[in-house]
Amino acid sequence: MAKLYQKFIAVTWRTLLTLLTVSRSPGLGRVDSSKSASCIYTGYASIMEGFGKESRGGGRTGNDRPDVLAGVIGELLMAVQQLSDRVGALEARDSDIAGLGNQIDGIERAIKAILLGITADMETRMEAVEQVVWGAFDEVERLNYEVEQLQVAEETEGKARISRLQSRVKALETRSAEQDAQLAQRAVRLKTLKETSYDGEFVWKISGMAQKRRDATVGKTTVIDSVCFFTSRAGYKMRAQVYLNGYGRGEGTHVSVFFVMMKGEYDAILSWPFRQKVTFTLLDQDHQADVTDWFHAGAYPTSPSFARPTGDSNLPCGTPDFVPLERLYNSGHAYVRDDTMFLKITVDTVGLV
């Protein structure tokens, strides 16, 4: 743009000089209009054309030609100035554009630098984040492993504790069972001491007859055992049994009573087989009509019921049809009163030590 402007200025000055030279020559009035078209720029052809018309028209004299030429030159100079201003504006614009381009280049470089910096920073941050993440994964794996180990340890310890607790519970159950057995034995002994006798005569009080009779009828509890009693402190040990709904040939029709020899602490110094007379008596609580039956053990010397006991007890021996049920409840006698019945067992102690 600067070179073009310099070329334009040079051409313009050459044109002005030519015009000045022509203005001094005598043939100025015959300037051909066709030569006006050969001016440097068609934008100023109208000015030159006007000047030629005035020359041909003869509107002005020769003395007026310098003024006209001066006017034309002035207008041309103004046009040149305007063009110069435009060229200057264009140069300024080009300069601004070049500066803007430089600014854009700088901005691009800055953006690239920023992007490169951001990329590098992001890479650094990503590496740090990856390290943190992988560290977190490692920590999670370690914690999972520790948890698994704790679970295994807890399961093992739990199983061991459960086993120990089960052993303790079993031991406690065994001990409790033993204590229960001991308590039961003590309860039986206490009851025996309270209710038993040591003279061969035992009165058995049977309470709750209605319920016990129902239990016997439905087969829930068919037999009831008495506490043990003795012929003396160091004598034979015995007990009685009663079937409230009968046994054997008396089942369903009679009350059956039996005598049972028990294994005792002094059996070694006693005479065997047992040979004593045994008597059963159902007591009338009005003392009017007791029911009695008996047997003599000596009449059965070979019976296992009277041999020395090898187990806890021998086979029972007694009377299956001791008293009819009809008589027990409907005879008008007080064999059962206040839901209670009394049965006395008497062992003859004559001849015993």
- pLDDT of 288 higher than 60: yes
Least confident of 68-82, 172-186, 315-329: 68-82
- pLDDT of 31 higher than 50: no
Q: Is 279 a domain residue?
A: yes
Q: Is 226 a domain residue?
A: yes
Range of the domain at 327: 197-347
- pLDDT of 114 higher than 60: no
Tokens of 195: 């209710």
Q: Residue 94: what pLDDT?
A: 62
Among 85, 111, 137, give the residue marking a domain's end: 111
- pLDDT of 267 higher than 70: yes
Q: Are residues 88 and 225 in the same domain?
A: no
Q: Is 131 a domain residue?
A: no
Integer Cα distance of 295 and 268 in angstroms: 25
User: For residue 280, what are the β-bridge partners?
Assistant: 293, 345
Q: Are residues 95 and 203 in the same domain?
A: no
CA of 215: how far to CAs of 219, 230, 240, 243, 319, in Å? 6, 29, 19, 11, 21
Supply the mean pLDDT for the chain.
77
Burial of 306 (0-12, 13-18, 19+ CB in 10 A): buried
Q: Residue 36: what pLDDT?
A: 39
Q: Are residues 203 and 102 in the same domain?
A: no
- With a pLDDT cut of 70, the percent of the chain lying above it is 61
Stretch (H or E) spanning 186: helix 65-195
Q: Are residues 105 and 210 in the same domain?
A: no
Q: Is 23 a domain residue?
A: yes
Contacts for 8-17 with beta carbons within 8 Å, 24 or more apart?
8/83, 8/87, 9/80, 9/84, 11/40, 12/40, 12/76, 12/80, 15/39, 15/40, 15/76, 16/73, 16/76, 16/77
Q: Is 144 a domain residue?
A: no
CA of 265: how far to CAs of 158, 230, 270, 287, in Å? 50, 11, 10, 37
pLDDT tens per residue, range 291-345: 999 999 999 999 999 999 999 999 999 999 999 999 999 989 999 999 999 999 9
Tokens of 290: 């007791």
- In one letter, which amino acid is 61? T
Among 111, 144, 164, give the residue marking a domain's end: 111
Residue 15 and residue 44 in contact, taking contact as beta carbons nearer than 8 Å: no
Q: Are residues 104 and 226 in the same domain?
A: no
Q: Are residues 102 and 237 in the same domain?
A: no
Q: Is 124 a domain residue?
A: no
Stretch (H or E) spanning 293: strand 291-296
Q: Is 162 a domain residue?
A: no
pTM score, whole prediction: 0.51
Tokens of 130: 């990856």
For the chain, percent helix, then strand, then coil, each to nearest 5? 55, 15, 25
Residue 345 and residue 206 in contact, taking contact as beta carbons nearer than 8 Å: no
pLDDT tens per residue, range 195-246: 789 999 999 999 999 999 999 999 999 999 999 999 999 999 999 999 999 9
Peptide bond into 273 cis (omega under 30): yes
Integer Cα distance of 215 and 211 in angstroms: 6
Residue 336 and residue 210 in contact, taking contact as beta carbons nearer than 8 Å: no
Q: Residue 248: what pLDDT?
A: 95
Q: Is 146 a domain residue?
A: no
Choose among 206, 209, 200, 268: nearest CA to 228: 200
Q: Are residues 227 and 339 in the same domain?
A: yes
Q: Are residues 222 and 334 in the same domain?
A: yes
The total domain count for the chain is: 2
Choose among 197, 198, 306: nearest CA to 261: 306
Q: Residue 37: what pLDDT?
A: 36
Q: Are residues 103 and 221 in the same domain?
A: no
Residue range 26-38: average pLDDT?
41
Tokens of 254: 């009679």
CATH number for the domain spanning 280: value is 2.60.210.10
- In one letter, which amino acid is 219? G
CA of 161: how far to CAs of 153, 164, 167, 170, in Å? 12, 5, 10, 14
Among 61, 93, 111, give the residue marking a domain's end: 111
Q: Are residues 85 and 220 in the same domain?
A: no
Residue range 248-264: average pLDDT?
97
